Structure 1
Amino acid sequence: MHPLIPTSDATSILPTGAKTPPITVIGTEAIRATFDEQCLQQAINSRLAPGVTDLVLNPDAHCGYGAPVGCVLVSPTHVYPGPVGVDIKCSMSLLQLDLPADQIIDRPTRRALINAICERTPTGAGRGQRHAKKSRFVDETLGRQAVIEGASESVCTQLGIPPEWALRCEDSSHVGHDGTSAALGERLQRHLDGSFFRKFADKINQLGSYGGGNHFGECEIVHVEDNDRARAAADVFGLQDGKVAFLSHCGSRGIGHNLASGQFKALQAKFENWNIPLPGGDRELVYAPLGTPEADAYLDDMALGANFATVNHLLINALVLEAFQEVIPGVKGQLVYFISHNIARQEVVNNRMSWVHRKGSTRAFPAGHHALKGTIYESTGHPILLPGNPQAGSSVMVADEGAALSCYSVNHGAGRMLGRKAAIRQLDQKEVDQSFTEHDILTNCRQYPKDEAPAAYKDFDEVLRSVKSAGLATEVARLKARFVIKDGDQADD
């Protein structure tokens, strides 16, 4: 057993059994009970890996590949594909509409909106533009530009994305290992010249689409917290109390999966050929020292996948706005924020430039943080988008000074309580579907996926209580779902 030693109501430490500082754990007593032994062992394996100086376990943490989902890993000397994950730059985005909540009370309007969105943004693994009759076609030339440049003004303009939305992104574009986009162009061409991207055009056609699994689009009503700080932050963020917003969760689709899987295979082959010990004996915890060709290759591939994810999200939001305007003419929308939870970024940690790997973890810079200087978020901190579940709601938060404890990071959502197979085995389909009816939440699915049911996830309010009690962040607004778009067969009324 790995004992967690409480240090406050919502924090604890996990000793590693070695001569290293312990792991920082965020979570109340109830949340700590959700961490199983495998999750804790993965955290220890990750903390003891070469070059790692800090590891944080967030309240949504659960078992992942190599490193737990819901962790932060810091290293000034190495990069790790595992603590980024297979879905490079899986992210959240929020679109605020100037539409009062009472405009979507009736079910026919919501059903029309669901249909209009699904006609533009397909869902499901392997599905792309050809599966949605009103999607935005992206040819291979523009697709190459998008993965090299990210949300540049040129890319946004060609895709019908408001270019100013790039200013409301955690990162609107990513560069290669040497700080240039030219390195990404060379890396992409190398992939295209070989057999790595045999179906590159098909993968580019996934721009503007949701995947499967836990990815979703969700129509929300914004409820700003009733206090001065929340109202001030909401004003800066562009959140409008009592009005409709749209929350999206997806990542880099097939391109990101290809790039990440290729990196795992390449590094695992190196470890085997060179007989390098694996941290904890885990093949998913391979790594590369900075400055090596292997690290350069990983950083370039991560950036290519991240640029795809960025453009994918912004295009989805443009298509969602278009769908609302088709059903309710005259609606206007503004991107609130776009933020990742599967990425490695260079940040200053303990006065040292490091690579901060966030796997199922969200950046949380508070007001006054040096990285926000010159942005509209300098005096408030940036928005943190945390999905809970459709019935409990989702949250927009803002970081507090105490976020330094967690390397300026918070959770990325509620976190799973049941694995997918266990959820499918244990949950009753009729009860899952009935719960949505009782909450008057429509979906595009004939049957809501049991492995994505609210009961498969941790108690979101307890997760948020952990974050608040630990002094990491404060809630600005709660988002209440009115309809959900998931991977599933089209439903009707």
Structure 2
Amino acid sequence: MTTTMIPTGEATAILPAGDHHSPVKVFGTEAIRNTFDDLCLQQAINSRCAPGVTELVLNPDAHCGYGAPIGCVLASPTHVYPGPVGFDIKCSMSLLQTDLPADAVQDKSTRRALIDAVCRRIPTGMGKGSRDVPKARRIDEKIGSAAMTEGASPDVLSRLGIPIDWPDRCEDAYHRGHDGTIDALKSRLYELRQQRGFKKFRDKVQQLGSYGGGNHFGECEVVQIADDEDAKATAEVFGLIDGHVAFLSHCGSRGIGHRLASHQFQVLEQKFDQWGIPYPGSDKQLVYAPLGSVEADRYLDDMALGANFATVNHLLINALVLEAFQEIIPGTRGHLVYFISHNIARQETVNQQACWVHRKGATRAFPGGHPALARTPFAQTGHPILLPGNPQAGSSVMVAATGAKDSCYSVNHGAGRVLGRRRAIRELNQESIDQSFNDADILTNCRRYPRDEAPAVYKDFNEVLRSVSKAGLATEVARLRAKFVIKDAADADD
């Protein structure tokens, strides 16, 4: 089958998926579409032709992933797919806005003190947890279990010292089991632990309030609101403050999510082999379960457990970041702008049909007036979309346009990679990378910035944003300019 895209507009195209399936919808300018390699496109076709799939979307950040491309949206009314969610269940973005003017972090010694204060509270890297830094919250099994089953409940927030109103600024503050109950999650967690589904559970829950490795990060930003009256009005609703300091975070469900996802892939692959079911596109990474089956119920429960952990992880990180700022700059105040995921399956309506919308490296994009935003702070404007670029090009806060309906109300989750990790390590020059950060006056906690996370490994962020705008999916509200970055050199969780 051909993997040739057919342009339909300046920033739109289709990818034929055979005579019996509607084509894959592709969003991106020609320059961006040229970054999609054949494996990425073949994965998109395989995913579109998989059982029960009714829609498949490729966003501008698309690149090859596990079974399904990273940067894709898959909708199905009848099946759930672990691949188009991924290993880092509910990997997400969050943004904390402070009342500090940009001048407050201009001095390098102040920024260095802030980096140290954050790192004393928030560990980074695979396997790292609250015991590895002196000022982290102490997490025991009881709190960890409650976070996984309840999500951002008032009790969990109170026990962790997280502001009680922050869940109002979450895409989803909690997830329930396959039957809509907490009891299903409590039962499933007990079952997993009895079956030794979680080795070293006590250690894994202590990763609550931590960043992973690879592409996970924390960034101190200065907010630059777009010079447009609509953008300014929307920014006010979002709680953004022009010329002031904010903090952007990217992380997910850590070792908990990875263990849950790995277990699900193993179980479903065994079922496929046992029953002789053909893999979609002969790719075992596209295993699935029909809704209503025991296998689907267990996957949905496991996904909810991981998603709840990721939600509380982000909220705790933001609370710890605010504490760090208050230690170095007493009196600092801050509020959560938004928390939004990009590795999750959610129940939504697509083309007037109830579906599970799987977003793998894709971000929800509901515009103002969408019924799901009723009774939220964003009912009229649409919710914030947090798109990381790279520290030197900046990141973006966007808001969906009505055209987002064409992409299953989704946009890309960032810039997307153009260089694999091994190639980046092999080809990029360490001294040049480090000098580029010095020239841009961006500090980091790394002695040497990870080569496989250098700005050059990612797509041209301005062209990515132009693709989103030209396709009519979303518009920019503000650009975020990095002042310092917190990362780890370990492998990525997702």
- 2: CA distance between counterparts of 1:143 and 1:443? 30
Whole-angstrom distance in 2 between the partners of 1:481 and 1:92: 15
State whether residues 214 and 489 of structure 2, in contact with CA within 8 Å, keep that contact through their aligned partners in structure 1. Answer: no
Give 1:457's aligned residue.
458
Partner of 1:330: 331
- Aligned residue in 2 for 1:60: 61
Deviation at 1:184, TM superposition (A): 0.1
The alpha carbon displacement at 1:198 in A equals 2.1
- The match for 1:170 is 171
Instruction: Give the TM-score normalised by the residue count of structure 1.
Output: 0.99
Residue number in structure 1 paired with 2:159: 158
Alignment of structure 1 residues 328-367 onto 2, 5 Å:
328-367=329-368
CA contact (8 A) 1:11 1:27 kept: yes
Deviation at 1:18, TM superposition (A): 3.0
Question: Which residue is 1:229 aligned to?
Answer: 230
SS at the partner of 1:7? strand
Structure 1 residues 383-410: Cα deviation after superposition (integer angstroms, max 9, x where no partner): 0000000000000000000000100000
Aligned counterpart, 1:21:
22
Deviations 1:8-65 (A, max 9, x none): 0000000012321100000000001000000000000000000000000000000001
Aligned amino acid, residue 162 of structure 2: I
Partner of residue 87, structure 1: 88
- Residues 1:134 and 2:138 are matched in the alignment: no
Counterparts of 1:370 and 1:198, CA distance in 2? 42
Structure 1 regions of 5+ residues with no counterpart? none
Alignment partner, residue 6 of structure 2: 5
| CA distance in 2: counterparts of 1:282 and 1:71, whole angstroms | 17
Residues 305-324 of structure 1 correspond to what in structure 2 (within 5 A)?
305-324=306-325
Aligned residue number for residue 215 of structure 1? 216
Question: Which deviates more from structure 2 when the two are superposed, residues 105-114 or residues 189-198?
Answer: 189-198
> Aligned pair 1:386/2:387, yes or no?
yes
CA distance in 2, matches of 1:351, 1:460: 33
Describe the SS at the equivalent of 1:447: coil
Q: CA deviation digits over 1:410-435, x for unaligned, max 9? A: 00000000000000011000001010
- What amino acid sits opposite 1:284 in the alignment? Q
| DSSP-derived class of the 1:434 partner | helix
One-letter amino acid matched to 2:59 = N
2:201 equivalent in structure 1: 200
The reply to whether residue 421 of structure 1 matches residue 425 of structure 2 is: no
SS in 1 for 2:165: helix
What is aligned with 1:374?
375
1:264-300 deviations in Å (ceiling 9; x for gaps)? 0000000000000100000100000000000000000
Structure 2 partner of 1:399? 400
Distance 1:314 1:145 in 2: 15
For 2:299 and 2:194, the matched residues in 1 are separated by 18
AA in 2 matched with 1:56: V
Compute the displacement of 1:488 (Å). 4.2
Once residues 401 and 21 of structure 1 are traced to their aligned partners in structure 2, the CA distance between those partners, rounded to angstroms, is 22
Q: State whether residues 224 and 231 of structure 1, in contact with CA within 8 Å, keep that contact through their aligned partners in structure 2.
A: yes
Residue 98 of structure 1: CA displacement? 0.3
What are the superposed Cα offsets for residues 160-211 of structure 1, whole Å, 9 maximum, x if unpaired? 0001000100000000000001100000000111211121110110000000
Residue equivalent to 2:485: 484
Partners of 1:435 and 1:280 in 2: CA distance: 43
Letter in 2 for 1:39: C
Name the CA distance, whole Å, in 2 between partners of 1:17 and 1:429.
45
Q: Deviations 1:301-330 (Å, cap 9, x if unpaired)?
A: 000000000000000000000000000000
Separation in structure 2 between the aligned mates of residue 3 and residue 44 of structure 1, nearest angstrom: 11
Amino acid at match of 1:3: T
User: Unpaired segments of 5 or more residues in structure 2?
Assistant: none
Could you say which residue in structure 2 is the equivalent of 1:77? 78
**Cα pair 1:446 1:488 within 8 Å, conserved:** no
Q: How far 1:374 moved relative to its partner?
A: 1.1
Aligned partners of 2:323, 2:26: CA distance in 1, in Å? 42
In the comparison of the two structures, how many residue pairs are matched? Answer: 489
The separation in 2 between residues aligned to 1:17 and 1:355, in whole angstroms, is 23
Letter in 1 for 2:212: G
CA contact (8 A) 2:149 2:185 kept: yes
Q: CA deviation at 1:228?
A: 1.1
Letter of the aligned partner of 1:205 in structure 2?
Answer: Q
Match status 1:284 vs 2:273? no
Q: Which residue does 1:182 correspond to in 2?
A: 183
The amino acid that maps onto 1:14 is L
1:174–1:304: 8 Å Cα contact kept in structure 2?
Answer: yes
| Aligned-pair CA distance for 1:218 | 0.2
Paired amino acid for 2:189: L
2: CA distance between counterparts of 1:424 and 1:13?
34
Q: Secondary structure at the match of 2:268?
A: helix
Whole-angstrom CA distance in 1 between matches of 2:80 and 2:69: 16
In 1, distance between residues paired with 2:198 and 2:267? 15
Aligned equivalents of 1:41 and 1:410: distance in 2?
Answer: 20
Cα RMSD, aligned residues only: 0.7
Separation (CA, whole Å) in 2 of partners of 1:488 and 1:253: 15
Deviates more, 1:136-145 or 1:363-372: 136-145
| Residue of structure 2 equivalent to 1:148 | 149
Cα shift readout 1:212-267 (whole Å, capped 9, x = no counterpart): 01000000000000111111111111000000000000000000000000000000
- 188-197 or 36-45, larger mean C-alpha shift: 188-197
